[in-house]
């Protein structure tokens, strides 16, 4: 299907997600409802029931990595908005030639439940976007993944970072590290990705090698699906029945070598001035996928977690 061809709605979804006819309904079988998804994320405990009762791992860290303007800050704003119950843009987002985000920021998200406005057990780390003349060096990627970089540090992906700089964490704990990387990919440029941004695409692949060497799992967040699929733009509930979105998920999975079930389509709040339950659901499905992936990574560190994160009763 080419860019200009009309999108076609499949009769059955290409991924089973929620009961889109009634997203508020309690789920059946493998389908979720909006409230269940929200509850799951709000009650998320790293490794959950796999850990003994007296072991608590404080939080997981998810890194958003991608080209300038791919929608990283908007992903954070959209997820945050779901829990705030209104459009709530904390991170600056917009279109500029160079990255609008300049600081490496570890954003907490407060639970939306009225009795419990505490930070949930995950943080979303936003950073400057990759550009031809601001590609990420392997050394800097390692510093970020290993948890050496302080929150709100003005990080240039290719700049020199000295371990003597103020705030540099020389001995980060497992809870300072990155537990999952989400490669944020603009759906509108997937077809032309290798030609439009050969250096950025190559750089992403190099960074994946660094992540693999540290056993850090990767997923893809496919943003701006409303711009490739008119049926999704008209009604975001159509995303998982859109042939164009399905095809784009397949293509990006092939290019980045990441399984299709690890590619999460998302439509960020951009033009909307009010929340839309279907956009919220898509964002929460993404977040749930990210948290599962963090758990899969933490499982490799099970013994260390039990040893270091046991809460002793006094
Ligand atoms: N239509 C549409 N626009 C989006 C979507 N996500 C992001 N945008 C727009 O894309 C532009 C870039 O978004 P940002 O969130 O600032 O992207 P970024 O990756 O953080 O960019 P830098 O920080 O500059 O690297 C903004 O104008 C957003 O409103 C989406 O899902 N759909
Ligand atoms: Mg940004």
pLDDT of res. 4: 64
pLDDT at residue 21, as a whole number:
63
Partnered with residue 261 across adjacent β-strands are: none
Query: 7-21, 72-86, 120-134 — which is least confidently predicted?
Result: 7-21
Q: Ligand 1 in contact with 267 (CB < 6 A)?
A: yes
Q: Give the ligand at the shortest distance from the Cα of 100.
A: 1
Ligand 1 neighbour 70 (Cβ under 6 A): yes
Percent of the chain with pLDDT over 70: 93
Degrees, nearest 5: CA angle 238-89-222: 35
Is the beta carbon of 67 within 6 A of some atom in ligand 1? no
Strand 119-126 relative to strand 263-265, pairing: unpaired
What is the band of 129 on the pLDDT scale with cuts at 50, 70, 90? very high
Percentage with pLDDT > 90 across the chain = 71
The CA distance from 63 to 297, in Å, is 14
CB of residue 227 inside a 6 A radius of ligand 1 = yes
Q: Which atom of ligand 1 is nearest to the CA of 268?
A: 31
pLDDT reported for residue 312: 76
Pocket of ligand 1 contains residue 78 by CB under 6 Å: no
Cβ of 229 below 6 Å from ligand 1: no
| Listed ranges 5-14, 26-35, 70-79; the one with the highest mean pLDDT | 70-79
- Round to whole Å and give the CA distance between 203 and 127: 16
Nearest atom within ligand 1 for CA of residue 96: 24
For residue 223, which phi and psi values (nearest 5 degrees)?
-90, 170
Structural domains for the chain:
34-306 (3.40.50.300)
Please, which residues bridge with residue 183 across strands?
65, 220
Q: Report the C-alpha gap between 238 and 289 in whole angstroms.
A: 20
Cβ contact 146:172 at 8 Å: yes
| pLDDT bucket at 20, cuts 50 / 70 / 90 | low
- Ligand 1 atom with the smallest distance to the CA of 74 is 15
Ramachandran angles phi, psi of 283, nearest 5°: -65, -40
Q: Answer yes or no: are the C-beta atoms of 78 and 287 closer than 8 Å.
A: no
Question: Residue 45 C-alpha to ligand 2 middle, in angstroms?
Answer: 28
How many whole angstroms separate alpha carbon 238 and alpha carbon 15? 11
């Amino acid at each position: 299907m080419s860019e200009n061809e009309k999108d076609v709605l499949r009769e059955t979804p290409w991924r089973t997600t929620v009961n889109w006819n009634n997203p508020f309904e309690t789920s059946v079988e493998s389908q979720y409802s909006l409230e269940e998804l929200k509850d799951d994320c709000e009650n998320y405990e790293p490794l959950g029931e796999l850990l003994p009762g007296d072991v608590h791992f404080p939080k997981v860290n998810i890194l958003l990595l991608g080209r300038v303007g791919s929608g990283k800050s908007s992903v954070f704003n959209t997820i945050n908005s779901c829990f705030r119950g209104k459009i709530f843009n904390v991170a600056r987002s917009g279109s500029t030639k160079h990255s609008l985000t300049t600081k490496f920021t570890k954003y907490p998200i407060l639970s939306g439940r009225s009795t419990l406005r505490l930070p949930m057990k995950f943080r979303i780390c936003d950073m400057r976007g990759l550009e031809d003349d601001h590609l990420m060096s392997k050394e800097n990627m390692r510093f970020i993944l290993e948890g050496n970089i302080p929150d709100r540090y003005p990080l240039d992906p290719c700049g020199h970072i000295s371990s003597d700089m103020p705030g540099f964490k020389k001995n980060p704990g497992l809870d300072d590290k990155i537990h999952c990387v989400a490669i944020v990919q603009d759906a509108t440029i997937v077809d032309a990705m290798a030609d439009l941004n050969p250096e950025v695409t190559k750089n992403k692949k190099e960074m994946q090698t660094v992540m693999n060497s540290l056993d850090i799992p990767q997923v893809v967040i496919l943003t701006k699906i409303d711009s490739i699929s008119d049926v999704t733009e008209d009604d975001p509930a159509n995303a998982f029945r859109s042939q164009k979105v399905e095809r784009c998920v397949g293509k990006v999975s092939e290019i980045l070598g990441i399984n299709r079930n690890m590619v999460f389509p998302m439509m960020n709040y951009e033009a909307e001035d009010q929340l839309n339950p279907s956009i919220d659901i898509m964002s929460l499905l993404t977040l749930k996928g990210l948290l599962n992936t963090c758990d899969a990574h933490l499982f490799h560190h099970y013994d260390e977690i039990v040893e270091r994160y046991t809460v002793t009763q006094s």
